[in-house]
Chain A
């Protein structure tokens, strides 16, 4: 019997994976993907079936562990935000070469408009580049249904499958009809053990197979089910190609019968035959896709010059940012609805560090020390503490990628910049900061690394941090001298001591680590509530 429940796109995908016989989810938190793993962690079936759901150190370790689970015949899923794809790219691209044994689904949640991200990269390019099939659901129901299909498809073709969500899909709720849960896979050995050893001789053979499979994907019956032409408008000059959430915005603007043919793309590789079919009847094709102009760029290679291609590249749709139903409405030349007029009275309310947050006290102390060093630069990292860039702190000079604080400080210091200070969070440190610290130790770089440790992964809502209780030992093990691993507690009453410690370590010519430790006030509040309940 089917059951209906109200779920976020992320949650629908998570439940679909659980019901598809998932044995493990491997992930590092990142907006807008975090809720997938959190949903699995909280679901009763996870406990009942002993499904792996603990956070990984980073997206690369997550991807590799999932590939190992797939090797053992189990169904595994990896989840991350789009920039996480960069971190796991080495394994992701090579997993296309090894192929999968148990179903392997990689979920990338893209963040066009950069609500919580550094860039707008579109994960479909990764699928294309790695020659991996990609699915892009348009609704929560499709997210639920398609992840199950993705596992089956992965096992049918022994390939990882990429599922791409975008912010509005990930963080929007709708009613989902769910099915019975499938059993988990038993342990099994891969049928072709050689392709898992990517020595050049093996990889060359496998490369040919992967390329051949690309054609089979287009011929697979599922491709015709997931990519469909909706006929409309007998003599329409223009046709529309829409994918993902772009399809929703298009349909929102259509009342009654569709006035032009529409090709909905949900499954990649791009269906070349269907596109040629569209081009045979339409002299103009408008491409409506969320993210970067992936389909649009590819079309230019498939179609004759005589077909006009419209989309994000010719200015019909904006080159950057999320689509909206209103952007589509304008592009279709439809009249805008009458609305209240815009007011300029409202002022921006930018995000800020919480009142009482330890990062605040840390930045206050750091600023007090740094002001005596006019040439100092502070290289920061990804997390809540990036908000130290804003008023009233203006405390940091860079934020690039996970772990870049330490390594950029090394490069700057070696180039003669002094003092060179790195600011990194606890979870970011174990994600990608540790190897950089080893570089610093080996080079005896003159840098001061401040680990602002709030005992959690704060920015994404307080997930467990892999660094918990380990930071000093990690730094010691990497080779930082014991007397230059200092601990401070970020509280206003400690400013004098904090400043003195930071100053001493800046003055020290070599690698020093200042651990600045106080629990995130959000998780502290939650823990207090739990305590009081007991």
Chain B
């Protein structure tokens, strides 16, 4: 059993925290894992992505081959578009619906939605809004992880929650609770879809 996931967004949106949580859960589930990420110049306000590979058998490539990704989790709708050639036909995309506009010309959001839905199953979550409504405005990334949780399949939802508790533990109980609340709110978002 294996699952290849692409995480995408803009520098500073917290995709690496999502990767760290899933990574913790994977290790504590005795899965093999590889996670490639981008550091350095490409980070400054630019697009960022992480390739996350989970498997019950050894993994060779640090990068996900085209057509093998089963799930894109994106903190930004246009950023999800970049990775379509990696997504299996009929694969899942769980994306924040709120655009992050820091370029002079940004495509129409309706065009982005249409392009995303062409070959894939898409769940749009206004994770920034849900995070605020749940009094955890800095945990938009965990809302999104919650919404994506059931599509990760290779990991139990409880195990991911345990991952959040462990990864954020050193930041204090309040931060842990905010993130758990955000994650649970995210879970509800995908239940109603």
Using a CB–CB distance below 8 Å, which chain A residues touch chain B?
Answer: 4, 6, 31-32, 34-35, 115-116, 168-169, 171-175, 245, 247-249, 251-253, 324-326, 329, 336-343, 345-354, 384, 387, 391, 459-461
Contacts of B103 in A (CB 8 A): 347-350
The interface size bin for chain B is 35 or more
**Distance of A171 Cα from B50 Cα, bound (Å):** 10
Q: B10, B24, B41: which has the most chain A beta carbons within 10 Å?
A: B41
Contact in complex: B62, A340 (CB < 8 Å):
no
**Distance of A164 Cα from B47 Cα, bound (Å):** 27
User: CB of B192 within 8 A of chain A?
Assistant: no
**Distance of A340 Cα from B84 Cα, bound (Å):** 5
**Distance of A34 Cα from B47 Cα, bound (Å):** 21
Contacts of B60 in A (CB 8 A): 247-249, 251-252
Knowing A340-B89, A340-B120, A343-B115 are in contact, say whether A173-B34 is a contact too (CB < 8 A).
yes
**Distance of A350 Cα from B42 Cα, bound (Å):** 8
Contact in complex: A6, B65 (CB < 8 Å):
no
Cβ-neighbour of A351 out of B36, B46, B66, B91 (below 8 A) = B46
**Distance of A116 Cα from B46 Cα, bound (Å):** 12
Contact in complex: B61, A338 (CB < 8 Å):
no
Contact in complex: A325, B23 (CB < 8 Å):
no
Contact in complex: B46, A32 (CB < 8 Å):
no
User: CB of B88 within 8 A of chain A?
Assistant: yes
Contact in complex: B27, A6 (CB < 8 Å):
yes
A187 CB, nearest partner CB in chain B, Å: 37
**Distance of A245 Cα from B34 Cα, bound (Å):** 13
Contact in complex: A339, B42 (CB < 8 Å):
no
Closest 5 CB pairs of A and B: A337-B67, A31-B40, A339-B67, A116-B40, A252-B61
- A sample of 7 inter-chain contacts (CB < 8 A) reads A172-B35, A174-B32, A339-B66, A341-B84, A346-B112, A347-B107, A349-B10
**Distance of A174 Cα from B115 Cα, bound (Å):** 33
**Distance of A6 Cα from B34 Cα, bound (Å):** 9
**Distance of A387 Cα from B40 Cα, bound (Å):** 13
**Distance of A172 Cα from B60 Cα, bound (Å):** 12
**Distance of A461 Cα from B43 Cα, bound (Å):** 10
Binary per-residue interface labels of chain B (106-135) against chain A in the complex, 1 for a CB within 8 Å, 0 otherwise: 110001100110111000000000000000
**Distance of A168 Cα from B35 Cα, bound (Å):** 10
B52 CB, nearest partner CB in chain A, Å: 9
Contact in complex: A347, B41 (CB < 8 Å):
no
Contact in complex: B34, A32 (CB < 8 Å):
no
**Distance of A259 Cα from B88 Cα, bound (Å):** 27
Contacts of A341 in B (CB 8 A): 84-85, 118-119
CB nearest neighbor in B for A346: B81
A5 CB, nearest partner CB in chain B, Å: 8
Contacts of A324 in B (CB 8 A): 63, 65
Contacts of A354 in B (CB 8 A): 44-45
Contact in complex: B84, A325 (CB < 8 Å):
no
